[in-house]
Amino acid sequence: DLHSKFPCDFILYTGSTQDEIIDTLINHLNSTKDPGLFSRFTFISRSSDINDNWHGNIEKIVDLIVSSREEMNTMR
């Protein structure tokens, strides 16, 4: 939920072992199909399905970037 609401850098710590962390991340990626998990990059698939609105996903990200920059300029 953090990643989808606040796309930025995160430092997470846990008492889990490295293998448990990796297994959890793999399970999360397999269940959500979100290749941008904890990444500063956003990957959007240009599906061959003409009904797939991949442009909408790009527009959401651009809006978020523009909004964040506007907020930073306002705070200055």
Of residues 14 and 10, more confidence is placed in: 14
pLDDT over 80 (residue 8): no
* Residue pointed to by tokens 């999360």: 28
Statement: the pTM of the whole predicted model exceeds 0.85: no
Q: How many residues does the chain have?
A: 76
pLDDT over 80 (residue 57): no
pLDDT over 70 (residue 40): no
Helix/strand/coil (H/E/C) assignment for every residue in the chain? CHHHHCCCCCCCCCCCCHHHHHHHHHHHHHHHCCCCCCCCCCCCCCCCCCCCCHHHHHHHHHHHHHHHHHHHHHHC
